[in-house]
Structure 1
Amino acid sequence: MSELCPRFEKAMQIISKRWVGLILFELLDGPKRFSEMESNLPVSGRLLSDRLKMLEQEGIVNRNIYSEFPVRIEYSLSKKGESLRPVIEDIQKWADDWVTPEEVEG
């Protein structure tokens, strides 16, 4: 049990960082370009770039560069990131069942 707490805490630190959940949710549909995610998410380009770099360093997101002209860069979930699918889907289901529209509007 002593191993669980630090690992659980690390996992929660990663996925609870602001905007990470929405970025992961966005990538569940498949690879996306930066500009596509930037237009779909209510987050600044600078912050999106920061979060994607962090997720890439954690091995959750892959950054794929295609040598076309102009160069195309896409982000996708790695195997590690894809393994979060049931977690994200369960959080979505929980939110649908338990979070009211009034709570969202705050």
Structure 2
Amino acid sequence: MENNVGLSVMADQPVKVRPCSLAASLEILGERWSLLAIREMGYGVHRFAQIAGFTGVSRDILADRLRKLEAAGVVERRQYSEHPPRFEYHLTEAGRDLLPVLLALRQWGDKWAVERPALVLRHDCGHRLEVDHVCHHCGRAVNREDLEVMPPVGR
């Protein structure tokens, strides 16, 4: 049973489309092939054909997704050959900031979406990587029960 007063206020609002940063993020990233292309760039794969091969996406869909990600500032094209013109794709700062999101999705998938993970990530401390979400101010774990919805400062 949910007894959180902080977030329950969201359910009590009049029903209308709610402006939301999550919805805005999904407009940019919410397609499977976009996230898989970002995954590959995070693995150090930068060439179009390799990204297509490792993800299984068709070339026309990948080209479309990469154009959208470039327009959104998530990836950048870098030319590596003039004749013929060929480009690599690299994550921008905004793209690199998606690493915790991808790690969290991967961890969720390992637990809930597959019978057995295809690979395991190990941190350089030697242990299997487990991502936790903690408050940067107090260091405590983030749970739904601890959240309160507030308007942004200055409104």
Q: Could you state the TM-score of these two structures normalised by the residue count of structure 1?
A: 0.81
Q: 1:68 Cα deviation (Å)?
A: 4.5
Indicate the residue corresponding to 1:53 in structure 2: 67
**1:23 pairs with 2:49:** no
**1:91 pairs with 2:105:** yes
**1:6 pairs with 2:16:** no
Change (3 A) 1:84 1:21: same
Identity %: 35
Q: Is the 8 A contact 1:34 1:74 kept in 2?
A: yes
Indicate the residue corresponding to 2:4 in structure 1: none
Unmatched tracts of structure 2, length 5 or more: 1-17, 116-155
Aligned residues, how many? 99
More strand by share: 1
More helix by share: 1
**1:33 pairs with 2:47:** yes
Amino acid at match of 1:61: V
Instruction: Report the aligned-residue RMSD.
Output: 2.0
Q: 1:98 Cα deviation (Å)?
A: 1.3
Q: Is the 8 A contact 1:55 1:61 kept in 2?
A: yes
| Distance in structure 2 (CA, Å) of the matches to 1:17 and 1:37 | 15
Q: 1:67 Cα deviation (Å)?
A: 4.4
Cα offsets for 1:83-106 (capped at 9, x unmatched): 0001001100110011134xxxxx
